[in-house]
Structure 1
Amino acid sequence: MSSSFSGALIEDDDAGFGPERGSWQGSSVTRREIEWLIRTRRIPAEVSCRLPGSELSPDVKEGEYVVFMSHFSRGFGLPLSDFAREFLDYFGLQPHHLPANAIASLSAFISASEGYFGLWPSVHVWSKFFQIRSNVVPDKSLHPSEKLLTQCGAASITPRRKSVFPRVTGLESCKKWHKSFFYVKNTGTEDKIRLPVFSIGTPSKVNWTYNPRRSHVLAELFETRLKELIRAGLRGEDLMATFISSRICPFQKRTHKLCYMSGPLDPNRVSTVELDNYLVFKRVRAIFKTEMPEDWAWGLKPFTRERPPPALGLSFTCIKITRANPADLLNISAG
């Protein structure tokens, strides 16, 4: 099945099976992996990292937070962006509540908002297309409403019914994502992490039923334009390739939006090395389930600093478009 079908990230159950489903099982992270995160600026120099010992569940020291290597490989980065922190706060979540595939889904949404709309992402717009699903510990003796949330990965992301957001699908093979945790801590006075204070408990499910429906103007306009972008050629593969090819971490606080990237020396990049199409293909296939071919081509390219997005307003007038240029898709004027 092609990942370009309408929908959203359909999460396979990546929290495990049986009574151990979603339970803490220690960590296998290595010092070499953490050094790579620091070297590529996914973790700033002002943040110290500590490997877990033999503990099965996190044993945090004062001022520490728990993060996951599997999340970093899917777009996570420190310090968190405004949207990433807003998302956690609004839904009452911690990183360990989100499966690895949820991070990939959110990275694709951020890529769409910044790369194709020129907008900082919003929880309200996200909620137009997605919702949070509870992952529970299997127990046939209990009614579904009485089942306990899993310790890890309690909050999966699924599409809303009739969501038009391009489909991106997570890997089925990341069921042990939660075995990649380690600890981070600020070393200076400035917060270079921006995570909520760590709490090992399950989420409160606050705002999990929120649905803007037709009450949020920007969400409605976003959907209208998204449908036009899809007709112009936008596919799920484009969203996957956008943040990978731009060499950024969508979750990380940046000085400007993805659509204003300025090239190899952009300060928001994790590397100055450009990726050719084959390397983009390999990295997409490493974190998404897709039929994207080796010789893939853009369905619709994201905006760039050389071809910036038009100013966003509240009135949209469709004009003649080309498949390769979303800037030609809509003339957006102040409403």
Structure 2
Amino acid sequence: MAAADLGNAEWERSKVSNQDVNLLKRLGLMKKENAIRFPSEESYPNPPMEYRVSFVDHLIRGLSAPIHDFLRGLLFVYGIQLHQLTPNSILHVSIFITLCECFLGVTPNWALWKRLFCLRRNGSHNTTYNIGGVVICVRNDVDYFDVKFPDSVQGWRRRWLYIHEEDANSVEHNIVPFDGNAKIQRRHSWDAEASEEERKATEALMTRIRELQNTRGKELSGVQIIAYFLRIRVQPLQARKNPLWTYAGENDANRLSKDLAVKDLEKLVRRITSLNKKDPIPSSCRVKPYSSTNPLPKDHPSMDSLPPLPEGGDVDERAIVTDDNQEAPSFPVIKDLLRIGAQFVGYREYASKAEEKLAEANERANTLAQQLEQSEKARKKAESDAVDARAEADKAKADAAGVEDLKKRLHTAETSLSDHVAAQSAREEVILKRLTTQSRRFVARTAQEFQLDEPVDDPLLDALSFLEVHGSEAREGIDQAKAGLSRLFPYFFPKKEEPATFLNLAKCFNPSEDLGLKVRHENMKVAVENTVALVADSQQSIDWAKVGDTDQIEQSRWKSLIKAAKPNTKKILAYIGIKPSSTPSTSKPEV
């Protein structure tokens, strides 16, 4: 029993979430205006002209318009549309293009593709899908990268949208416009194999792929390739100016956005693969990809091989086959019909829309012609009325010119005065704020409040009066301080010249060392020298070596010696020319 074809029943209203939209913005896929359009209320796709149906899960796996020529060729050769490929199939193509350009150093190669991949229907014995009804599979006899695809992508069919695909110069090279009624037909090209000549030409590439997979310590995995093209922010399935082996970092012309945050990148890799939160995400490839910093060797071979586009394609390879793999009858007329049908599948909707737009344009042209005829009559009448009105207007204008000029000048003067008053008020507020701040700082420094004798109740003038009081107080304090410091300067700095300014004079008395202690030590030295001189003059016999070796004197002993010395202190001071003060002297050991 044949499987049931879901047909249009697969489609339902698009459910693209705000989270999906934000992701597309972060990936740079909406940077170009109108690059993506989201359906409104329709439950079946109705794309505008030059738009194609795609899915959020296609875009985050490397798809972007304008579409890469290699993918264009695949769609033509296999006779399928974009919406008929599953997300994992799109990811297969992205990985293949990245592999070719970044690690093999060649353009995406059609002969190599045929050695690696084939197509299969996506469905069961009970159901035949149209959305995602075709799956790209790795051939059973090929050892290819373990990509770790998820078993299923939940809800991807509901997240559909429209992408802008500009029409090419030749309609044959355009992607087939959306046709939801077109049935998926299995073709010979789905299992197309490389010819013997193509196998020989691509054998070196196959060998290199095996080396990338199996070189110990430098193994390349499918997840590494996925993480790489997501990290460099270049969509593999987008038509680009330069191949990826010329990638120039953050300034590359093909980049769609800035680098993703590490957290966002890892989340995206896990979303499109089967990796879970415990699996590590590779931060780099074990094999250094080709780029502007790792260019291709000078003798690197170039191999160009794209899938055949319509004008160069082999129709026989695209022939439809039945489910039991029997070929269709090869009558010439049927072959021609098949060729024409294959070439123009999907364009009937395009032509229908063009005809509708042409009919609308003709209808609008007829309406405009009628309106033009009516407007011509109205124009002539309006010209006659305008002549009369112009004469009256000229007279009224002359009368009103003088009054209007005076009004304008008065309005200009009023506006200027208002602006000046506003500016003056703002200026006074700023000045008052600054004066208040300075007054508050002065009070905080001096710890002294002041009152005005005769305030004038004008905030600005009163603030200036306070500033004058503060200034007078500050000047008097500076004069007193300078006079005092000038008198002390010769004692503390006998060998220096007194600075001219008060600030430099004050800095001299604020060093890191204790000036008082230094002066006391100097005076102690002079007193000792004078005392020694007096004792020597008295011709007393004293062993000065023993005096110098004297241990520290106890406090009580020190006081008794000082007390015994006091009766002769005045005589000694008078001798060395110092007038003693009336206050009693104190003496204690310096530490």
Verify the 8 A CA contact 2:246 2:292 in the aligned structure 1.
Answer: yes
Contact kept, 8 Å, 1:44 with 1:78, in 2: the verdict is no
> Hey, what does 1:286 align to over in structure 2?
271
Identity %: 25
Q: Are 1:224 and 2:207 matched, yes or no?
A: yes
How far did 1:61 drift? 4.2
SS of the counterpart of 2:211?
helix
**1:77 Cα deviation (Å)?**
0.7
Quickly say closer, same or farther: Cα 1:243–1:169, change in 2 above 3 A: same
Counterpart amino acid of 1:287?
Answer: I
Residues 195-243 of structure 1, C-alpha deviations (whole Å, 9 max, x = no match): 3322222333331121116441333221122112223222222212221
Q: Which has the larger radius of gyration?
A: 2
| TM-score, scaled relative to structure 1 | 0.74
Paired position in structure 1 for 2:73:
86
Gaps of 5+ in 1: 1-17, 140-147, 316-335
Letter in 2 for 1:211: E
Q: How does 1:126-145 map to 2 (within 5 A)?
A: 126-136=113-123, 138-139=125-126
Instruction: Pick 1 or 2: higher relative contact order, CA cutoff 8 A, min separation 6.
Output: 1
The answer as to whether partners of 2:62 and 2:91 remain within 8 angstroms in 1 is yes
Matched, 1:205 2:190: no
Alpha-carbon distance between aligned partners in 1 of 2:282 and 2:34, rounded to the nearest angstrom = 39
Please give the alpha-carbon distance, in whole angstroms, between the structure 2 residues aligned to 1:45 and 1:188: 17
* Residue identity in the other structure for 2:185: S
1:42 is aligned, of 25, 29, 32, to: 29
1:243 to 229, 253, 257: 229
Residues 128 and 213 in structure 1, CA contact (< 8 A), matched pair in contact too: no
- Pick from 147, 157, 174 the counterpart of residue 168 of structure 1: 147
Q: Which residue of 2 aligns with 1:112?
A: 99
Aligned pair count reads 289
Aligned residue identity for 1:77? S
Spell out, residue by residue over 1:70-126, the C-alpha distance to the aligned partner (whole angstroms, 9 max, x if none): 100111111101112111111112111101111112111111111101111123211
Distance change (3 Å), C-alpha of 1:51 and 1:84: same
Q: Distance in 2 between matches of 1:235 and 1:48?
A: 32
* 8 Å CA contact retained: 1:102, 1:156: yes
The CA deviation string for residues 121-140 of structure 1, in whole angstroms up to 9 with x for no partner, is 1232112111111113532x
Over 3 Å counting, the alpha-carbon distance change for 1:92 and 1:105 in structure 2 is same
Q: 1:52 to 1:295 in 2, by over 3 A?
A: closer
Asked if the contact 1:127/1:210 (under 8 Å) is kept, the reply is yes
Whether the aligned pair in 2 keeps the contact of 1:47 and 1:187 (CA below 8 Å) is no
Q: 1:51, CA displacement in angstroms?
A: 2.4
**Residue type matched to 1:288 in 2?**
T
After TM superposition, the score normalised by the length of structure 2 is 0.44
Per-residue deviation at 1:49?
Answer: 3.8
Counterparts of 2:213 and 2:74, CA distance in 1: 26
Aligned to 1:155: 134
1:228-307 equivalence runs, <5 A: 228-232=211-215, 233-273=219-259, 276=262, 280-290=265-275, 292-294=279-281, 298-307=285-294
The structural deviation recorded for 1:66 is 0.9
Separation in structure 2 between the aligned mates of residue 188 and residue 215 of structure 1, nearest angstrom: 35
Check whether the contact 1:131–1:159 (CA below 8 A) recurs between aligned residues: yes
Conserved in 2, the CA contact under 8 Å of 1:281 and 1:296? no
- Structure 1's 56 and 166: CA in aligned 2 closer, same or farther, altered over 3 A? same
Alpha-carbon contact 2:92-2:136 (below 8 Å) kept: yes
The 8 Å contact of residues 224 and 285 in structure 2, kept in 1 or not, is answered as yes
Pick the structure with more strand per residue.
Answer: 1
Mapped partners of 1:279, 1:38: distance in 2: 13
Deviation (angstroms), 1:46: 6.1
- Structure 2: gaps of 5 or more residues: 304-591
**Cα-to-partner distance string for 1:261-305 (whole Å, 9 max, x where unaligned):** 1011211012133655x6543332121124751575533231221
Quick check: which one's helix share is greater?
A: 2
- C-alpha separation in 2, matches of 1:251 and 1:268: 12
Question: Is 2:15–2:158's contact at 8 Å kept on the other side of the alignment?
Answer: yes
Pairwise CA distance, 1:189: 8.8
Structure 1 pair 160–284 and aligned structure 2 pair: CA distance change class (3 A) = same
Alpha carbons of 1:279 and 1:45: their partners in 2 closer, same or farther (altered >3 Å)? closer
Name the stretch that deviates more: 50-59 or 157-166.
50-59
Structure 2 residue corresponding to 1:313, chosen from 295, 298, 301: 301
Residue of structure 2 equivalent to 1:325 = none
Q: Which residue of 2 aligns with 1:329?
A: none
The residue type paired with residue 133 of structure 1 is: R
- Name the SS of the counterpart of 1:132 in structure 2: strand
Residue of structure 2 equivalent to 1:333: none
Q: Structure 1 CA distance, aligned partners of 2:145 and 2:237? A: 20
